[in-house]
Structure 1
Amino acid sequence: MAVLNEEQEMLRDMAREWATNESPVTEFRKVRASGEPEAFDRGAFGNMAEMGWTGVIIPEEHGGSDFGWLSAGLVVEELGKTLTASPLIQTTIAAAAIVLGGSDEQKAKYLPKLASGEMIGTLAIDEGARHDPSKIATSVSGGKISGTKAFVHEAHGADLFVVASTDGLYLVEKGDGVSLSTRKLTDQRSHADVTFDGASADKLAGGGDSLLDDVLDRARILTACEMLGMAQQVFDTTLDYLKQRVQFNQVLATFQSLQHRMADLFGDLAMMRSAVEGGLQALDSGFGVARAATIAKAEANRVLHTMSREGVQLHGGIGMTDEYDIGFYLKRARVLEASFGSTSYLKNRFAKLGGY
């Protein structure tokens, strides 16, 4: 487990208290019931911005706190525990893209707005059913971008899109030449196919040839942080259920076979935490990011898939009902597993990074 300084402990505790009291799963149920395509509470997101969470990785000269990736991950993990619906992850990654590859003018224009929560950002990378940044057809001519991006997270609330094209990453603001087609996924969050038809595009010219990979690695690690929070909550919820549920005049937690299953999950959770925190520490140190990100997301995929499945099964038939929250975690898990790299994609990438 990562060693936190006093300020990071305070940030984690503040995020935990806010998520528990102000954004429990009942708030997600309200968002789901509203049917709004944005699928998040703007008031809650405004509160996050006021607490400084939207600017954690943004430099101080542009309105952020520059508190580091481990700090950002602590906040995201706590929000993951309560399935808080917000564009915080995508906005943070959009900001990271600008920090890495933006010009001074681009940083001055966009980073203060992202840090304050005035502007919401998101990534628009993939064009097919599966994550594969090598297959991009979107192109730019004369400062105008054209192409269609599939399954863009938080697209309905986004003001700024970081778009991958055949020759790099571009910033595209919502407006003329940008249209959305809603995609309904099992997690009931905001997803859309986004079509760019001659929209004005501003290239992120810095960051070198690895800019797209660098941005995606940050997306993988921060997504893995949300998955870690979810896995921890599923474990805790399932353990509490087994301790109070009685069957055949015995508490379920006293059955040795169930104890073994929970012990296996406990070990998996520890492995997942080590991998995810290793990814965050790699980002803060700037060393070995690509490998650490690949491992973090692959391990998050593996553990959360198992954890969410076992959580539902150990709840028995009632785990399949909408009355219990446990099923929401499984549905969100399946979407996140496919985001920014499935397990098979990440295993292949890890092999390539090792020269195989």
Structure 2
Amino acid sequence: MALVLNEEQQMLRDSAAGFLAEKAPVSALRALRDGGEGKGFETALWQEMVDMGWAGIAIDENYGGLGYGYVGLGLILEQCGRTLSASPLQSSVLVAASVVNQLGSDEQKRALLGGIASGAKIMTLAMQETAHHGIENVAMTATAQGDEYVLNGRKVFVLDAAQADQFIVIARTSGSAGEQAGLTGFLVDANAKGLAVIDRTMVDSRSAG
């Protein structure tokens, strides 16, 4: 069934298209590749996106967002794809916020989603451990020590890892690699003791760790 956009959604799409054509054309990605800030996106451009409400576009109004849902976010991401615009929209807004929304308690949503929506924090998902996607491949362990857990292992292809303020890290509280059961998500601050991030520039000039 075809998706029919209402007037508000059409305005959102057209506004995003105009903004990105002016502020983030394909030439901007080339400039980023050839000598940008070295962080995978331009801070000033990301701040403009935040100021327009894009960071909270899919987040419910009860948690500090605009409540346009994934149709609204999808319209913006579609236009970003047209110009190859680089930003934390995918890592923080699409992926991390969705994980919090699906797995978090109401208290956790209130504590975390507002910061993403306001652009005050960048959050990213740390799940992959191999070259092939598969949640069952997770081998990182999470061992309880008192009221906390100690995580032991490594992750790869974590989008915007060097710029993230917090990570949602998927680790095993039971079972072993090859099993889908026994996995838990942990919120880890970027300055957590024992955490090391190796920043890598990907083939599309984006940053991952």
Q: TM-score range by the shorter chain?
A: 0.7 to 0.9
Task: Count matched residues.
Answer: 192
* Greater Cα shift, 71-80 or 101-110: 101-110
Identify the residue that residue 53 of structure 1 maps to in structure 2: 54
* Among 150, 160, 168, the residue aligned to 2:166: 160
Identify the residue that residue 138 of structure 1 maps to in structure 2: 140
Hey, what's the Cα distance between the residues in 1 that align with 2:38 and 2:150? 27
Identify the residue that residue 190 of structure 2 maps to in structure 1: 174
The answer to whether the 8 A contact 1:122-1:154 is kept is: yes
List aligned pairs for 1:227-246, cutoff 5 A. none
Identify the residue that residue 12 of structure 1 maps to in structure 2: 13
Hey, what's the Cα distance between the residues in 1 that align with 2:108 and 2:34? 38
Identify the residue that residue 97 of structure 1 maps to in structure 2: 99
Hey, what's the Cα distance between the residues in 1 that align with 2:82 and 2:104? 33
Following superposition, the deviation at residue 160 of structure 1 comes to: 1.6
Identify the residue that residue 65 of structure 1 maps to in structure 2: 66
The answer to whether the 8 A contact 1:49-1:117 is kept is: yes
Identify the residue that residue 125 of structure 2 maps to in structure 1: 123
Instruction: Compute the TM-score of the two structures, normalised by the length of structure 2.
Output: 0.87
Following superposition, the deviation at residue 25 of structure 1 comes to: 1.4
Aligned residue identity for 2:133? H
Question: Secondary structure, in 3 states, of the residue corresponding to 2:121?
Answer: coil
Q: String of CA shifts for 1:195-253, please: whole Å, max 9, x gaps.
A: xxxxxxxxxxxxxxxxxxxxxxxxxxxxxxxxxxxxxxxxxxxxxxxxxxxxxxxxxxx
Aligned residue identity for 1:185? M
Hey, what's the Cα distance between the residues in 2 that align with 1:116 and 1:183? 27
Hey, what's the Cα distance between the residues in 1 that align with 2:31 and 2:170? 34
Aligned residue identity for 2:190? K
Instruction: Compute the TM-score of the two structures, normalised by the length of structure 1.
Output: 0.52
Change (3 A) 1:178 1:35: farther
List aligned pairs for 1:205-244, cutoff 5 A. none
Hey, what's the Cα distance between the residues in 2 that align with 1:173 and 1:6? 40
Following superposition, the deviation at residue 35 of structure 1 comes to: 5.2
Hey, what's the Cα distance between the residues in 2 that align with 1:74 and 1:68? 10
The answer to whether the 8 A contact 1:162-1:170 is kept is: yes
- Residue 189, structure 1, aligned to residue 206, structure 2: yes
Following superposition, the deviation at residue 29 of structure 1 comes to: 1.9
- What 5-or-longer segments of structure 2 have no aligned partner? 173-182
Following superposition, the deviation at residue 30 of structure 1 comes to: 2.1
- What 5-or-longer segments of structure 1 have no aligned partner? 193-356
Question: Secondary structure, in 3 states, of the residue corresponding to 1:3?
Answer: coil
The answer to whether the 8 A contact 1:37-1:156 is kept is: no
Hey, what's the Cα distance between the residues in 2 that align with 1:180 and 1:36? 18
Identify the residue that residue 149 of structure 1 maps to in structure 2: 155
Hey, what's the Cα distance between the residues in 1 that align with 2:45 and 2:38? 16
Task: From the two aligned structures, give the one with the greater helix fraction.
Answer: 1
Q: String of CA shifts for 1:28-57, please: whole Å, max 9, x gaps.
A: 122212254411011111111111111112
Aligned residue identity for 1:5? N
Give the fraction of aligned pairs with identical amino acids, expressed as a percent. 39
Hey, what's the Cα distance between the residues in 2 that align with 1:106 and 1:145? 20
| Structural RMSD (CA) | 1.4
